[in-house]
Amino acid sequence: MEAADAQIKSTPAVPASQPDKPAADASGPLVDLLQAHLLPCNLDVDRVTPEDAEALAAALEAASWRGAPALKQVLPAAAAVRLLEALAQLLKAQPTLVEVEPASEDVTVTVFGDTHGQLHDVLHALRTVGVPGPRRHFIFNGDFVDRGAWGLEVLAVLAAWKLAAPGAVTLLRGNHESATCTAMYGFRAELVAKYGAGMPGVYRAAKRAFAALPLAARVARVALVLHGGLFRRPPEARGGLHRRKRRRPPPGTPLALGSLADLRAASKGGIDPSGIGATLVATDVMWSDPVAEPGLRTNDARGVGLVFGPDATQAFLAENALRLVLRSHEGPDARWRREDLPGMAAGFTVDHVTPAGRLCTVFSAPDYPQFQADDEDRYNNLGAVAVLRGPTWDNPEWLQFAAVLPRPPSAAFYAFDDVPDSDEEIEVGGQRGSDASGLSGGSALSTGSLAESDGPTRHLSK
């Protein structure tokens, strides 16, 4: 089937049912189970079970209604450190490019986009789609933290599931899994509010886990999942004693697309990928954006990463024997100014349609961002996840969901009315950039839109 002829499966969305607010002194068997398994003196990180992961999720959800200080009553700083250190050790053993090979055609691969600390929406989606297991593989495509009020809780739940079902969960790195973004967009301040004096140890453990995250996953050898987008071919490495150094291309040298081989050989980027030296590929993967205009060029708007057109997507798919690139990175705030690509109201977009395949964006944080100025209209976007099924694995089924409201009361952990609303104009490795949304182009022939999606969608409801 030609990629342009493939139908996109989705269903009309309906609101999520409203949660019951737990009592102020929420407790019970799930919390007791958590205390038995995850307190520092009893934490056995080699034997975290699915029941432990579900108990942790339930206890953290209950604690979220009792305010920031309640977290350390459920997951003390020492326990959080042990959990994150165990996660980091597991992730270090994984390559930069993870191969996800479904064991049979009845295995589903569900891809989450950005979740940004929106714990209750993540749990709603998991409870509706089903939890990881032999027939359900999950890929979480980065940006677990920042902006939302429960970044540590989301990270802890994903860490527990990765430890409980390592073969059924793949965690990938987004641009917010970095020191720069977590200092600006709230995660660091969140840990201060929740752990106080215990914050430095938890933050160090989290950054080590972030640095160990893989950059991409290839599903059934035909679909590539990565956070931001395509990447350039790195400069040629010097040999001999200087083999770790890379030659800088002469000024004006055209950019060349990287390959899966380049991705496999790339560094994961370290604590704070800057786009310099060995972090070049990692930074591109985490920060790049698609545009409708043909070409491959530096992302001058963001000041980091690339922008790439449908011709670059076509070349990358064809040269690497792929049929789908599935990325995240752009929410409704990043897309609302753009005229060249679809908006993010539905939680997903089809950005490039080419003879070789498609490039799509999935975003899993509904009603995003959580915090906005009182005089700003909310985007009221849906969240979505992409489900890949055999035998082709290249035609996502989009499952949409509304935000779980009301959310527990929480103060913002960043100055949301005084920082860029879509990662614009921030310092990354000494470079300053702004939002890519100012870029526009007119490649109607190669750019897909929701208007072209004539298949049904599915909505997640309780």
Q: Which residues are within 8 A (CB) of 155 and not within 5 positions of it... i.e. 6 or more apart?
A: 84, 144, 145, 206, 209
pLDDT of residue 449 exceeding 60, the answer is no
Give percent above pLDDT 70 in the chain: 78
Q: What is the mean pLDDT of residues 90-111?
A: 98
At position 298, the amino acid (one-letter code) is T
Is-cis flag, bond preceding 406, omega within 30?
A: yes
pLDDT in tens, 251-289: 667 899 999 999 999 999 999 999 999 999 999 999 999
C-alpha–C-alpha distance, residues 157 and 117, integer Å: 11
Confidence of residue 2 (pLDDT cuts 50, 70, 90): very low
pLDDT in tens, 369-397: 999 998 889 999 999 999 999 999 999 99
Cα–Cα–Cα angle for 40, 43, 47, nearest 5°? 170
pLDDT in tens, 36-45: 444 433 446 7
Burial of 10 (0-12, 13-18, 19+ CB in 10 A): buried
Which pLDDT value is given to residue 424? 62
pLDDT of residue 156 exceeding 70, the answer is yes
Q: Is 176 a catalytic residue?
A: yes
- Computed over every residue of the chain, the mean pLDDT equals 85
C-alpha–C-alpha distance, residues 380 and 63, integer Å: 26
- Between 72-81, 89-98, 176-185, 315-324, the lowest mean confidence (pLDDT) is in 72-81
Catalytic residue among 124, 176, 352, 459: 176
Query: What's this model's pTM, rounded to 2 decimal places?
Result: 0.87
pLDDT in tens, 43-68: 467 789 999 999 999 999 999 999 99
C-alpha–C-alpha distance, residues 433 and 298, integer Å: 11
Confidence of residue 3 (pLDDT cuts 50, 70, 90): very low
Q: Which CATH superfamily is domain 28-459 in?
A: Metallo-dependent phosphatases (3.60.21.10)
Confidence of residue 447 (pLDDT cuts 50, 70, 90): very low
Going from the C-alpha of 117 to that of each of 65, 216, 273, 372, the distances in angstroms are 15, 21, 21, 15
Q: What is the mean pLDDT of residues 425-440?
A: 43
C-alpha–C-alpha distance, residues 62 and 77, integer Å: 18
Which pLDDT value is given to residue 264? 98
C-alpha–C-alpha distance, residues 122 and 80, integer Å: 19
Q: What is the DSSP track for 159-183?
A: HHHHHH-TTTEEE---TTSSHHHHH
Closest CA to 259 of 299, 297, 230: 230
Crossing angle of helices 50-63 and 29-38, rounded to 10°: 120
